[in-house]
Structure 1
Amino acid sequence: MIIAYLFRSLGTGHSIEELFGSLQRKVDRHPDIQTTRIYLPYVSRGWQSIKRNLRFLRSASATIFHITGDIHYAALALPESKTVLTIHDCILLERNRNRPLRYTFFWLFWYYLPIRRAAVVTVISEKTRHELMQYVGPVAKKAIVIANGYDPAFVYRPATFQKNHPVLLQLGTAPHKNLSRLIAAIEGIACTLILVGPLTDSITRELHQRRITYKNYVDLSRVEIIQLYETCDIVTCVSTYEGFGMPILEANAVGRVVITSYLEPMRTVASDAAHCVNPTDVTAIRQGILLLIQNDAYRQSLIDAGRRNAQRYTMAVAALRYEAIYQQLAGVQFVEVQPIVEQVL
């Protein structure tokens, strides 16, 4: 059985590629499965590039095609009985709510039609499944939840907490990452903020105006990101929107304390292994960070809980669930979703 993992064009992003790269390596160990990667040749900007990508996919060959995220429309060029589609979030619909033409385009070609066509649709959280039901309607009932697993390269690395001047690590700089409120919350706190991702001019101005000590990195390798986790003291993930919240698990695995949003799915992913706050309340974010800095016992209790929490989301668990889907799809002409739900969840 050959599983082809479909990725967006090279250079478009990193998170999905890293996540499914880890999954692919795990699935490759199965004696009856071989895997390969297919990268779309064109960045999905405009109808012409989308048509070229669809034309490219029509000649692809594999037993099962697994669209790893973002490029959902790829399902329209693949055999429906052999296609697995993973949807991470509904951010495209969320962002374009007030732009009717763009909203309709993404609703149709990124969500509704691909969901209808794919044999199996997986989502990474109950929150994403619920949003799909809200946005797309009954067709999204076929979606099943398979939670992300963290990369096993993230291993426990205990370290002495730098109480006098802690290092805060923030992965991602998109608007939903809530940087403005985070920056406001740490004003006057002796700390260094590590930001991974491109900064807008307005965010840079805020950092300077509030006299925040910070470092900014872009286009880091996986090894470099892991090193940042290992050298930080607190991981911040106070987003106003997420499909899952991988930094929570990665921090849990490495042994770093986390402050995150009490919104879903972060609250469920974190369980009792992070300090949860209202992401729209700057004072709550500030008080949470100060609590993690000052209360040694509480901080250590969260770190200990994090190590247990990480074991609930290993890549081995995710791989077993996807392998069950691949095996069923390879064995029948078309797969009904309900039997897979019963076996996989």
Structure 2
Amino acid sequence: MKINYYFRHPKVGHSIHRVFRTLIEEVEKSADISILEMPNKGSMPLDLLKNNIYTYKSRDKNTIHHVTGHIHDVLLALVGVKTVLTIHDLVFLDNVKNPLKKFYKWLFWLYLPLKIADKVVCISNQTKQNILSKLNTDKLLVIYNAVDPIFSFQEKEFNKKKPIILHIGTGWNKNLIKSIEALEGIPCHLRIIGKIKEDQINFLNKHGVEYSNALNLTDLDIKNEYLNCDIVNFPSIYEGFGMPIIEGQQTGRIVVTSKIEPMIEVAQEAAAFVQPDDVASIRQTYLKIINDDLFREETIKNGYINAQRFSVKNISKQYIELYKKLS
């Protein structure tokens, strides 16, 4: 069995590469693997053309072609061969207001790829339902993301006097501003991973929240950030999945996340849930974690149990079964 994995240009972002690298290391034990990265970063017509030409040259009727996400439009070059498409979320549609751009994305990133692909993997039931609300298809199945085995359980004495709160991501959906507001007056250190904008820095200073910042981290660096923290903060307002939930649970840290899908689906009952638009809800949850030892310890224990659902062996087995059905 031979599988070609297609990735977006590496400078666009490493999140999809990182998720699938873990999976590929397991899959290649039973398959011949090739990895192809797109030559162009953008999604405009010229980028689409160049990426499709590159993809077309790799076509092989005896190979399963797996488009790992973001570059859905390269399915246009894979008509007539065995194909799998993974869709992580529909932010490319949900976050676009210009009607012409929205139609362009709908046509080339959703409608045509779904018509061409043999199977479409959604990383959560939330993503699946979102797709079905826009397009009726029977090609969808749900396979979760796998957690990297480098995230292993390690106990840490909780710092009640000044917990380190790890916040991963600074984009519009990561809810950093409301997190900062909720932390005003709570002794803590906010560790922010990702590029901080000037308005976010001003907000940190305004609310007197002690913080530090890091970006462009290696996988080992990220692992150590989890190990060094006391709380993983992930009260997002929009996600396709939410890897920090699982990485935090697997490491043995309590996770704060939003009581919305897909975070509920991913975390199960093993996280400290907040209403992401309610500063008081977020603040009360931080205080409960700091002051309620039993709640914190039970949540950490249940989180580690929940994280086992996302082991690389479990997830890779589901993908291999899918590939065999297409072979």
Same fold (TM over 0.5): yes
Q: Counterpart amino acid of 1:219?
A: N
In 1, the alpha carbon distance for the partners of 2:80 and 2:219 equals 34
- Structure 1 residue matching 2:165: 3-state secondary structure: strand
Contact 2:65 2:81 in 1 (8 A): no
Matches within 5 A, 1:1-345: 1-30=1-30, 33-62=31-60, 63-96=63-96, 98-135=97-134, 137-139=135-137, 141-330=138-327
User: Which deviates more, 225-234 or 76-85?
Assistant: 76-85
In 2, the alpha carbon distance for the partners of 1:292 and 1:308 equals 19
In 2, the alpha carbon distance for the partners of 1:155 and 1:199 equals 28
- Following superposition, the deviation at residue 45 of structure 1 comes to 3.9
**TM-score of the aligned structures, taking structure 2 as reference length:** 0.97
Contact 1:81 1:329 in 2 (8 A): no
- Structure 2 residue matching 1:138: 3-state secondary structure: coil
Q: How many correspondences in the alignment?
A: 325
- Following superposition, the deviation at residue 329 of structure 1 comes to 1.2
Contact 2:16 2:69 in 1 (8 A): yes
RMSD: 1.1
- Structure 1 residue matching 2:161: 3-state secondary structure: coil
- Partner residue in 2 for 1:338: none
- Structure 2 residue matching 1:304: 3-state secondary structure: helix
- Structure 1 residue matching 2:173: 3-state secondary structure: helix
- Following superposition, the deviation at residue 116 of structure 1 comes to 0.8
User: Which deviates more, 246-255 or 70-79?
Assistant: 70-79
In 2, the alpha carbon distance for the partners of 1:126 and 1:294 equals 34
Q: Counterpart amino acid of 2:206?
A: Q
- Structure 2 residue matching 1:174: 3-state secondary structure: coil
Q: Counterpart amino acid of 1:264?
A: E
- Following superposition, the deviation at residue 81 of structure 1 comes to 3.8
Q: Counterpart amino acid of 2:317?
A: L
- Following superposition, the deviation at residue 244 of structure 1 comes to 0.8
| Moved >2 Å (runs of 4+) | none
In 2, the alpha carbon distance for the partners of 1:105 and 1:322 equals 30
Identity %: 38
- Following superposition, the deviation at residue 80 of structure 1 comes to 4.2
In 2, the alpha carbon distance for the partners of 1:208 and 1:146 equals 42
In 2, the alpha carbon distance for the partners of 1:68 and 1:214 equals 35
**TM-score of the aligned structures, taking structure 1 as reference length:** 0.92
Q: Counterpart amino acid of 1:312?
A: R
- Following superposition, the deviation at residue 92 of structure 1 comes to 1.0
Per-residue CA distance 1:80-113 (angstroms, 9 max, x = gap): 44110000001111101x3101111111111111
Contact 2:73 2:113 in 1 (8 A): yes
Contact 1:277 1:285 in 2 (8 A): yes
In 1, the alpha carbon distance for the partners of 2:85 and 2:42 equals 17
Per-residue CA distance 1:314-334 (angstroms, 9 max, x = gap): 11111011101111212xxxx
Provide structure 1 residue ranges, at least 5 long, that are not aligned to the other structure: 331-345
In 2, the alpha carbon distance for the partners of 1:46 and 1:148 equals 28
In 2, the alpha carbon distance for the partners of 1:242 and 1:208 equals 28
- Following superposition, the deviation at residue 79 of structure 1 comes to 3.7
Provide structure 2 residue ranges, at least 5 long, that are not aligned to the other structure: none
80 and 168 in structure 1: CA distance in 2 versus 1, 3 angstrom threshold: farther
- Structure 2 residue matching 1:57: 3-state secondary structure: helix
